[in-house]
Amino acid sequence: MTAETSFDSAQRFILAAKGFWTTQLYTNLREQYGERCAAQGVEPTTVPQVAAVAEDLTVYRYFAWLERHLQIAKYSGRYGLAHYYREHADEVLKDLDGAAGQSSNLELDPALRMPSYYVATDIHQHPGGVWSEPTAGLVYQHGARSTTPLLGASHGDLHARFTDKILEGGRPARVLDLACGFGKSTMPFASKLPEASIRGIDLAAPCLKLAASNATKAGLTNVSFAQRDASNPGFADASFDLVTSTMFLHEIPLKVLDRVLDECFRLLEPGGRMVHLDFWHMPDPFTRFLHYGHGRRNNEPYMQPLAELDLPKTLAAKGFVDIRIEPFSETADVDLAAVKAWRFPWTYISARKPA
């Protein structure tokens, strides 16, 4: 067997194992947790109360161990994504650097300082994070395919569905996508709003190069990407009608979030909208307990602080109005209630700057 097929097999195995973890193991854990609560005559309402019951279950320990170690195996070791792309760097970067060198839709800032919270953690268990190696964007793009597998569902429509929901409220002419990564969250705006100007910013040069190359390949000419810090992006006041982000707010410390929200307010035209897709609305304490555990096991230390923040109060204190915070259904393909699988608590967070 060649190294290539071993890599493919290992990654397919990890994806299948994640599917097992997401569905059967999770369902089993939920059932055993319910039985244990009934046997003890308790109805936990807080995370510590849930932990007192769940952490004693063997199935929970297995669930937690598998969650962490599948993610480590996905990125690290001989058949991990980081190693694979490092080995193939010459070949895969030729295309990317060539496209980045020629494209006018990309502005990099090699002098931009990476914040300390950002360099301190190997986010998602990705060695070196999404920024420190030239191949990091490709690793992240590949890894994102198996973040939350749900057998039978296409996860490809999450960003498109989010964009559609925003556009139900009007068609902005100037859009800023904060922390755009490799452009997966930016591209639907560019394709659905051909008349608009779309900007994506991120700290990670390897991701931005990939975003610019993906946009060029898709023939999208109304979108550009820049290496900027979302807490100090440097655009003029009132430059945008829509400021958005996807899976960003939970990746920053609360004091950085405070600055990001101030910037959203400053950058919006009066009457403009700010809409984020993140993890905040949790229907029950068991979901919250697993979400906090996910943050620890996936190296995402700011998931819990965001989930515990009084978001409506925080947004109102910044001056935002028309605040809407509601669960967001990630797919139309699958009846998630019937599947009873582990899912992220996707939340649609929308607010407006007063007109």
Ligand X SMILES: C[S@@+](CC[C@H](N)C(=O)[O-])C[C@H]1O[C@@H](n2cnc3c(N)ncnc32)[C@H](O)[C@@H]1O
Q: What is the per-residue binding string for ligand X in 191-220, x denoting contact by CB under 6 A?
A: ----------xxxx--x-------------
Residue of 104, 267, 301, 284 lying closest to 178 (CA atoms)? 267
The string of DSSP letters for 185-204 reads TTHHHHHH-TTSEEEEEES-
Q: What is the per-residue binding string for ligand X in 131-170, x denoting contact by CB under 6 A?
A: x---------------------------------------
Q: What one-character DSSP code corresponds to residue 347?
A: E
- Which of 211, 252, 282, 349 is the binder for ligand X (CB under 6 A)? 252
Identify which of residues 50 and 212 has a Cβ nearer to ligand X in the complex: 212
Identify which of residues 93 and 249 has a Cβ nearer to ligand X in the complex: 249
Instruction: By CB under 6 A, tell whether 248 contacts ligand X.
Output: yes
Radius of gyration of the chain (CA): 21
Instruction: By CB under 6 A, tell whether 251 contacts ligand X.
Output: yes
The owner of tokens 């919006």 is 268
Nearest 5°: CA angle at 101, between 201 and 229?
20
Min CB(48)–ligand X separation in Å: 28
Q: How many CA atoms lie within 13 A of 124 on its CB side?
A: 23
Handedness of CA 128, 134, 136, 137 (dihedral sign): positive
| Cα 78 from Cα 14, distance rounded (Å) | 14
Min CB(178)–ligand X separation in Å: 6
> How many residues in the chain?
355
Identify which of residues 50 and 229 has a Cβ nearer to ligand X in the complex: 229
Inter-residue contact 239 to 174 (CB < 8 Å): yes
Q: What is the per-residue binding string for ligand X in 98-117, x denoting contact by CB under 6 A?
A: -----------------x--
Identify which of residues 99 and 207 has a Cβ nearer to ligand X in the complex: 207
Inter-residue contact 174 to 241 (CB < 8 Å): yes
Site size toward ligand X (CB under 6 A) is 22
The b-or-e profile of 85-99 (16+ CB within 10 A means b, else e) is beeeeeebbeebeeb
* Of 26-34, 71-79, 84-92, 177-185: span binding ligand X (CB under 6 A): 177-185
* Of 63-71, 90-98, 178-186, 289-297: span binding ligand X (CB under 6 A): 178-186
Min CB(235)–ligand X separation in Å: 13
The CB density around residue 338, as the number of other CB atoms within 10 Å, is: 7
The string of DSSP letters for 105-131 reads SEE--TTPPPPHHHHHS-GGG-TTTTT
The amino acid sitting at 272 is G
Instruction: By CB under 6 A, tell whether 227 contacts ligand X.
Output: no
Q: What is the per-residue binding string for ligand X in 59-78, x denoting contact by CB under 6 A?
A: --------------------
Instruction: By CB under 6 A, tell whether 81 contacts ligand X.
Output: no
* Of 22-30, 48-56, 179-187, 214-222: span binding ligand X (CB under 6 A): 179-187
Min CB(56)–ligand X separation in Å: 33
Q: Which residues bind ligand X (CB under 6 A)?
A: 115, 118, 130-131, 179-181, 184-185, 201-204, 207, 229-231, 246-248, 251-252
